[in-house]
């Protein structure tokens, strides 16, 4: 990191103590920005890095709810409205016990640049709660969502802040959240959320978008190397929304997915993962991935196993942050992996990223590779605004175009800044410049 940027980083760390994931996300972006400040001294003069690293607004609130036995629980809710220079605050809600301010801020910070890369008019935000949806009944989930929205609703609006889902928040949760919003406000403003059900204002392809988009990004990276997905052996971590639709698109484009996981273990099925079964277990029955092995005797379940030790040509981390450390990255590279496409946010530690870049494999960071989800959320907003609904094929074509453009702009920016093939630099610089120009244009506000 160049000297003046390092000093800014140290001030951010001191100002936000204990928020390690936020520090990691900021450092990773700032490390790319030295040459940008040389080309654009006005960004340093106008303190653009400092302004972008400080959220515009941070909301923390109490979420009380009652379980089925009548016991009261208190969770904490968050919404960090990070930057609205390019458009309304946009970014998902995460329900997971690991959630605290540092996680929401890392995700919100990443979201600013990701949203800028889509080329669509959306600012960056993130929210969520330390609530653990695992093992809760439908009614408990509903009561929690209602309590969460009872506070959050006053901060939302079509022209203010439009959340979507993330870990632990899918169609069911968004439905309960919107139901409560509608009840409190007495307004059918489905434009305040994206990722909605198709019957109440949602967009086709939104469910599939993050996973499909990540695969399109990998397809483009391979194209640059005169390679394709056809016949490639792949592993995909996680078995949630992003993982499932990553696996679906990989299979559709001729690749073979041999492993997926959840936080308890890994399923390895050399014949190829049976996606219909994964969908039934995870989306319908809400079970653990270990149950997969009961249906396929030739599949292996590795309790507590490490998915990254399984040899593959393409790896697509689609579970959570820092799931690939230096050792995992070494295993992947050593076993002949040629491409990594991040469906998850910041799934690779800085040491892991360095190993991928040094090895010269095609490495697509989440900020660029998983932007298809939020891009399709913006397409959902366009359909809502025009009271229109587009076909699956039309929407998917738009998603494909957006991902192809994000790939091209990150690739070209990396080249322009003397880091050919380095999509980390490409994504950070291209995203930052877009936001920085807008911040400059809006004045000191």
Chain positions contacting ligand NDP, by CB under 6 A: 165-168, 170, 210, 238-243, 262-264, 318-320, 343-345, 370, 373
Strand order from edge to edge, sheet including 256-261: 300-303, 265-268, 256-261, 233-236, 314-316, 339-341, 362-364
Closer CB to ligand NDP, residue 150 or residue 246?
Answer: 246
User: What is the spatial distance between Cα 133 and Cα 261, in angstroms, rounded to a whole number?
Assistant: 18
Least Cβ distance, residue 113 to ligand NDP (angstroms):
13
Residue-wise burial string across 372-392, b where 16 or more C-beta atoms lie within 10 A, e elsewhere? bbbbbbbbbbebbeeeeebee
Comparison of 17 and 135: residue with beta carbon closer to ligand NDP: 135
Q: Specify the residue, 229 or 319, whose C-beta has the smaller distance to ligand NDP.
A: 319
Whose Cβ is closer to ligand NDP: residue 318's or residue 428's?
318
Instruction: State in angstroms the smallest separation of the CB of 387 from ligand NDP.
Output: 24
CA 6, 7, 12, 14 dihedral sign is positive
Number of neighbours of residue 286 by Cβ within 10 angstroms? 12
3-state secondary structure of 211: helix
Q: How far is the CB of 251 from ligand NDP (least distance, A)?
A: 17
Q: What is the DSSP string of 225-274?
A: TT--STT-EEEE---SHHHHHHHHHHHHTT-EEEEEE-SSEEEE-TT---
The single-letter DSSP state of residue 281 is I
The least distance separating ligand NDP from the CB of residue 95, rounded to whole angstroms, comes to 8
User: Which position's Cβ is nearest ligand NDP?
Assistant: 240
Cα angle at 35 between 224 and 38, to 5 degrees?
145
Closest CA to 210 of 195, 227, 222: 195
Choose, from 90, 105, 114, 126, the residue flagged as catalytic. 126
- Which CB, 8 or 332, lies closer to ligand NDP? 332
At residue 274, φ and ψ (nearest 5 deg) are: -85, 100
212 touches 405 (CB < 8 A): no
Q: Does 90 participate in catalysis according to the annotation?
A: no
Q: Which is nearer to ligand NDP, 33 or 87 (CB)?
A: 87
Min dist CB 374 to ligand NDP, Å, is: 6
How far is it, in rounded angstroms, from Cα 237 to Cα 180? 33
Q: How far is the CB of 445 from ligand NDP (least distance, A)?
A: 29
225 neighbors 363 (Cβ within 8 angstroms): no
Taking the complex as a whole, the smallest distance from the CB of residue 144 to ligand NDP amounts, in Å, to 15
Strands 122-129 and 88-95: parallel
| Residue 36 or 209 with smaller CB distance to ligand NDP | 209
Of 51 and 114, CB closest to ligand NDP = 114
Total residues found in the chain within this entry: 445
* The Cα angle at residue 194 between residues 191 and 200, in degrees rounded to 5: 70
Least distance from C-beta 168 to ligand NDP, angstroms? 5
Sign of CA dihedral 18, 20, 23, 27: positive
Annotated catalytic residues are 126
């Amino acid at each position: 990191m160049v000297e003046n940027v390092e000093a800014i980083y140290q001030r951010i760390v001191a100002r936000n103590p204990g928020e390690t994931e936020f520090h990691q996300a900021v450092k990773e972006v700032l490390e790319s920005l030295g040459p940008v400040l040389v080309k654009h001294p006005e960004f340093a003069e106008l303190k653009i890095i400092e302004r972008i690293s400080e959220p515009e607004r941070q909301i923390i609130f109490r979420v009380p709810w009652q379980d089925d036995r009548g016991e009261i629980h208190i969770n904490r809710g968050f919404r960090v409205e990070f930057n609205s220079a390019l458009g309304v605050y946009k970014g998902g809600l995460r329900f997971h016990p690991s959630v605290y301010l540092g996680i929401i801020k890392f995700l919100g910070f990443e979201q600013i640049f990701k949203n800028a890369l889509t080329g669509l008019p959306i600012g960056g935000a993130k929210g969520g709660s330390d609530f653990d949806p695992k093992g809760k009944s439908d009614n408990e989930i509903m009561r929690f969502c209602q309590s969460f929205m009872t506070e959050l609703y006053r901060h939302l609006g079509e022209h203010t802040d439009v959340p979507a889902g993330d870990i632990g928040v899918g169609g069911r949760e968004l439905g309960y959240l919107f139901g409560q919003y509608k009840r409190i406000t007495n307004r059918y403003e489905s434009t305040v959320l994206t990722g909605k059900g198709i019957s109440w204002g949602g967009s086709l392809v939104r469910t599939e978008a993050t996973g499909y988009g990540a695969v399109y990004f990998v397809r483009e990276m391979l194209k640059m190397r005169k390679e394709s997905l056809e016949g490639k052996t792949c592993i995909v971590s996680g078995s949630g929304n992003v993982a499932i639709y990553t696996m679906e698109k990989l299979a559709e484009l001729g690749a073979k997915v041999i492993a997926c996981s959840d936080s308890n273990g890994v399923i390895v099925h050399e014949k190829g993962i049976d996606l219909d079964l994964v969908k039934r277990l995870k989306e319908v029955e809400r079970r653990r991935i270990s149950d997969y092995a009961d249906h396929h005797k030739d599949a292996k379940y590795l309790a507590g196993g490490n998915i990254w030790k399984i040899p593959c040509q393409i790896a697509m981390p689609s579970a959570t942050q820092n799931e690939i450390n230096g050792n995992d990255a070494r295993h992947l590279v050593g076993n002949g992996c040629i491409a990594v496409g991040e469906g998850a946010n910041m799934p690779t530690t800085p040491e892991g990223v360095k190993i991928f870049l040094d090895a010269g494999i095609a490495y697509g960071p989440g900020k660029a590779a998983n932007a298809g989800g939020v891009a399709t959320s913006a397409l959902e907003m366009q359909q809502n605004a025009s009271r229109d609904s587009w076909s699956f094929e039309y929407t998917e074509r738009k998603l494909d175009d957006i991902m192809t453009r994000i790939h091209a702009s990150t690739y070209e920016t990396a080249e322009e800044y003397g880091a050919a093939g380095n999509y980390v630099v490409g994504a950070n610089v291209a995203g930052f410049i877009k936001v920085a120009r807008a911040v400059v244009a809006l004045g000191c506000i």
